[in-house]
Amino acid sequence: MAAADHPWEAVGECVWELPDPLQADSNGVAGVGADLEPSTLVAAYSHGLFPMRLSGRSGLLGWWSPDPRGVMPIQGFHASRSLRRARTNFSVTLDCDFVGVMQGCGDEARSHGWIDESFLGAYTDLHHLGIAHSVEVWDQAGELVGGLYGVRIAGLFAGESMFHRVTDASKVALWATCELLELGGVELFDVQWNTDHLASLGAIEVARAEYLRALRTAVGG
């Protein structure tokens, strides 16, 4: 996930006045509306916001700033002995099947399968621009069995979603992502909300204000 050509600088100016992330409500919603154009998304992530619909696939487009915020320390991934053994059963690639990963994350059979066609199109556009990236996990038969995707802006990687079809595949995706981000010089790995699952792998919670301070350093703002 190298940042040699700084593609996020080429998307143009955002035409929207974005909401203040510090004014988000108790659910983490700072505002609604706008669009999913590349310039809007880059500005939003740089500002501490990320998009998600308010109610599944049919709800209004919301801009979120949770408090506390989930963060994965780049060098803090907890790899158990069993996971280290399991990793040998998989191969990992970068940016080889971005759409496949997004479709896996957006599978309607999943309880959190909220990713609709508008998100798929928007983030695929970001991928083509070199801003959104995917990490794919394949089994020994060459089948896509897990993955993770997110957005890279300077020293920030904003993880959007991950999925697995077999045990440990999403853990391997997250582990590999941490390794790739360290190699690429990323300082801040945002995972939006912490969960028991993410916490078991090393994710932590930070206060919104602390996250925004780290974000300003990461994106050079």
Task: Say if residue 46's pLDDT is above 80.
Answer: yes
* Cβ 45 vs Cβ 37: under 8 Å: no
> Which amino acid, residue 148?
L
- Give the separation between CA 167 and CA 153, rounded to whole angstroms: 31
What's the pLDDT tens digit per position in 153-168?
999 999 999 999 999 9
What's the pLDDT tens digit per position in 55-78?
766 689 999 999 999 999 999 999
Q: What does the pLDDT read at residue 109?
A: 73
Q: What does the pLDDT read at residue 157?
A: 98
> Domain segments of the chain: what residues?
7-64, 69-219
Q: Distance between alpha carbon 50 and the CA centroid of its chain, in Å?
A: 9
When pLDDT is cut at 50, 70 and 90, the band that residue 186 belongs to is: very high
- Just give the CATH number of 69-219: 3.40.630.70
Q: Report strand pairing: 156-164 vs 188-192.
A: parallel
Fold of 7-64: Alpha-Beta Plaits (3.30.70)
> For residue 31, what are its two tokens?
């505002």
- For 184, half-sphere exposure in the C-beta direction (CA atoms, 13 angstrom radius) is 25
